[in-house]
Amino acid sequence: MQRLAPTDWKTLERVFLLDGWNFKREKGSHRSYTKPGFIRPVVIPKYDEVGIDVITANMRTARMSRERYFELLSRC
């Protein structure tokens, strides 16, 4: 299985947009995305390198498996 690696925020944004998340708002350097059926938003910081801890936290919030993440990442 592939290992998670830090990525830029634009790539991470494309992954969540492909999964059906919609841009809701931006406050400072953080962008929020919502999806029907989910209470908590996914928050992506506008960093050149988003760390693994942020990626895994967002995957957990989105109930996204590692397989699904890598599938969507390959389509970016």
The pLDDT tens digits for 6-55 are: 999 999 999 999 999 999 999 999 999 999 999 999 999 999 999 999 99
How many domains does the chain contain in total? Answer: 1
Q: How many Å apart are CA 42 and CA 44, to the nearest integer?
A: 7
For residues 72 and 57, the answer to whether their CB atoms sit within 8 Å is: no
Q: pLDDT tens digit string along 23-34?
A: 999 999 999 999
Q: Where are the beta strands (DSSP E) in the chain?
A: 22-27, 30-34, 42-45
Q: Is residue 2 part of a domain?
A: no
Domain of residue 61, CATH code: 3.30.920.30
Residue 1 has pLDDT above 90, yes or no: no
Residues in Cβ contact with 63 at an 8 Å cutoff, skipping those fewer than 6 apart: 38
For residue 55, give the nearest of 69, 41, 68 by alpha carbon.
69
Answer whether 0.85 is exceeded by the pTM. yes
Q: How confident is the model at residue 2 (pLDDT cuts 50, 70, 90)?
A: confident
